[in-house]
């Protein structure tokens, strides 16, 4: 008895009852939805008829022998057929074959060409997915012919012996019927969470919108926020359009405010207003304020997430403030000193006070000059100031010198690249 079999070898196989009468042919295999590392078979899905097809679901417990043909313990009269095709919650043909999965070890998206099953104690276990060319050839039943040709011209070719498998425990299925996720083992989810958010964002670029949603929903909440931040603006728009408004609001409220503003500006107005209405009042007010600035102005580029301290603070307070915000989407290297009305008094950087005595007043570590931009300054002026003083971020003030937000060098570069691309796109 072979220990491993392929799904392509099982499909179309005759099913015979206890008296050796043909019941029908296998058209799919239903698997148990569980946290097992290698899921086991729940039932065999059988079809009979040519012009008028009928379908039946036979529990694996009623199978006596999983060989060729597959034999049952029961008579054919006990097999109940129906005209409507049976759709299992999790079956190999419908939900795995020809679907895309994430190879968690190699951090890439691959297509499943066949399924490798482990046969133990009259039971099939889902062991591997076959992503190689041999899987396609096997399904087309060309393997004997192709192998014969290869043996004739290249008898030592690795094609004859090398299979391209991924262990089921190291895969993450992207879609189930375009709407449901496969319940996967904790092992797979833990490995998926170790892929850097930037890499996951790149993986999602190669997926269609339904697969994006399925993969995104498999992440932890914290990972969703990180991956979403690293996605391109167009990818964010597609994803937000497929999520519920409450999920979309949760995501938008946990990304930097300048990125949230850019996203909202690109959504249809009614969608944007609906999302703003569902947000916490404080967040909605901040975003509405940012949405009121011109996109290529300092006000349109800035984020309202920054570190600030009152003027009577000490170096120890600055270090504690950094520790308190290390997990937040905020620039940790610059701290702005403000008065009770949030007017900018000065700014300092981590480099200025990292080696200072903990009880040193923070104002003694500030730069000797105030460098800032106004909310209505254009992007070119912001870029020139950042380049001149070699700052990674710069504060944005209104006409009353009240600190409104900060602009990072990354935001400026990204916007300048976008402007340049639009300007020269037609000439390239």
**Digit-coded pLDDT (tens) for 120-146:** 878 899 988 998 888 899 888 888 899
- Same domain as 236, residue 329: no
Please indicate, yes or no, whether residues 281 and 322 belong to a single structural domain of this protein. Answer: no
Which of the listed ranges 104-108, 239-243, 317-321, 326-330 does the model predict with the highest average pLDDT? Answer: 317-321
Rounded to the nearest integer, the mean pLDDT of the chain is 86
Query: Does a structural domain hold residue 183?
Result: no
According to DSSP, residue 182 is labeled: -
Helices (H), 220-340: 221-230, 233-242, 245-252, 257-265, 269-278, 281-291, 298-301, 315-324
**In angstroms, what CA-CA distances link 253 with 16, 179, 266, 411?**
59, 25, 16, 19
Q: Which helix H or strand E contains 408, and what residues bound it?
A: strand 403-408
Q: Is the pLDDT of residue 19 over 80?
A: yes
pLDDT above 80 (res 310): yes
Identify the domain boundary among 233, 264, 292.
292
Residue 49 lies in a domain: yes
> How does strand 171-173 pair with strand 100-103?
antiparallel
Same domain, 279 and 347: no
Is 373 or 412 the better-scoring residue by pLDDT? 373
Confidence check: pLDDT of 16 > 90? yes
Among left, alpha and beta (phi > 0; psi -120 to 50; other), residue 91 is: beta
pLDDT band, very low/low/confident/very high, at 220 (cuts 50, 70, 90): confident
Answer yes or no: is 1 within a domain. no
237 pLDDT higher than 50:
yes
What secondary structure letter does DSSP report for 213? Answer: H
Whether pTM > 0.85 for this model: the answer is no
What average pLDDT does the segment 401-423 reach? 81
What residue has token string 């402007």? Answer: 419
Are residues 318 and 216 part of one domain?
A: no
Specify whether 233 is located in the same domain as 312. no
Q: Please determine, for residue 81, whether its predicted confidence score (pLDDT) is greater than 80.
A: yes
User: What is the pLDDT, as a whole number, of residue 411?
Assistant: 79
Whether the Cβ atoms of residue 386 and residue 374 lie closer than 8 Å to each other: no
My answer on whether 250 and 313 are in the same domain is: no
In a domain, 215, yes or no: yes
Quick one: which of 231, 146, 173, 166 has its CA closest to 197?
231
Q: 228 pLDDT exceeds 60? A: yes
Give yes or no: residues 273 and 353 share one domain: no
In total, the chain counts a number of residues equal to 428
Query: For residue 170, what pLDDT is reported?
Result: 73
How far is the C-alpha of 240 from the C-alpha of 377, rounded, in Å? 31
Last residue of a domain, one of 257, 292, 327: 292
Mean pLDDT check: name the lowest of 182-186, 264-268, 345-349, 364-368.
182-186
| Other beta carbons within 10 Å of 267 | 18
pLDDT in tens, 196-218: 888 788 877 877 777 788 778 87
What is the span of the domain harbouring residue 77?
Answer: 7-87
Query: What's the CATH code of the domain at 324?
Result: 3.10.580.10
CATH number reported for the structural domain that contains residue 217 in this entry = 1.25.60.10
Question: How many other C-beta atoms lie within 10 A of the C-beta of residue 87?
Answer: 13
Confidence band, pLDDT 50/70/90 cuts, at residue 176? very low
The residue ranking higher by pLDDT, 59 or 2, is: 59
């Amino acid at each position: 008895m072979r220990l491993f079999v392929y799904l392509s070898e099982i499909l179309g196989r005759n099913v015979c009852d206890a008296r050796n009468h043909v019941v029908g042919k296998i058209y799919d295999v239903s698997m148990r939805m569980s946290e097992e590392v290698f899921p086991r078979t729940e039932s065999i899905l059988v079809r009979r008829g040519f012009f008028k097809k009928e379908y039946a679901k036979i529990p694996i417990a009623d199978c006596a022998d999983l060989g060729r043909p597959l034999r049952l313990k029961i008579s054919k009269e006990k097999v109940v057929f129906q005209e409507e095709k049976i759709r299992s919650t999790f079956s190999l043909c419908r939900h795995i074959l020809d679907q895309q999965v994430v190879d968690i070890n190699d951090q890439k998206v691959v297509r499943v060409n066949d399924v490798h099953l482990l046969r133990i104690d009259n039971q099939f276990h889902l062991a591997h997915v076959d992503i190689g060319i041999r899987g396609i050839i096997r399904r087309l039943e060309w393997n004997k012919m192709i192998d014969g040709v290869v043996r004739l011209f290249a008898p030592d070719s690795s094609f004859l012996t090398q299979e391209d498998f991924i262990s089921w425990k190291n895969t993450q299925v992207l879609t189930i019927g375009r709407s449901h996720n496969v319940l996967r083992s904790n092992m797979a989810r833990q490995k998926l969470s170790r892929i850097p958010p930037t890499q996951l964002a790149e993986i999602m670029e190669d997926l269609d919108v339904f697969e994006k949603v399925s993969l995104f929903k498999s992440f932890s909440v914290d990972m969703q926020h990180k991956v979403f931040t690293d996605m391109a603006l167009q990818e964010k728009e597609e994803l937000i359009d497929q999520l519920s408004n409450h999920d979309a609001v949760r995501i938008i409220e946990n990304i930097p405010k300048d990125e949230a503003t850019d996203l909202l500006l690109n959504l249809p107005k009614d969608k944007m207003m609906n999302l703003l209405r569902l947000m916490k009042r404080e967040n909605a007010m901040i975003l509405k304020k940012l949405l009121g600035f011109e996109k290529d102005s300092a006000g349109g580029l800035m984020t309202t997430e920054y570190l600030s301290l009152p003027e009577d603070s000490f170096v120890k307070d600055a270090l504690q403030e950094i520790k308190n915000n290390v997990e937040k989407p905020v620039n940790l290297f610059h701290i702005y000193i403000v008065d009770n009305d949030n007017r900018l008094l000065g700014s300092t950087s981590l480099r200025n006070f990292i080696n200072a005595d903990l009880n040193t007043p923070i104002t003694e570590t500030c730069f000797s000059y105030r460098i800032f931009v106004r909310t209505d300054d254009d992007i070119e002026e912001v870029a020139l100031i950042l380049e001149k003083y070699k700052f990674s971020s710069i504060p944005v003030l209104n006409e009353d010198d009240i600190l409104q937000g900060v602009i990072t060098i990354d935001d400026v570069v990204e916007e300048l690249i976008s402007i340049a691309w639009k300007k020269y796109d037609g000439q390239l």
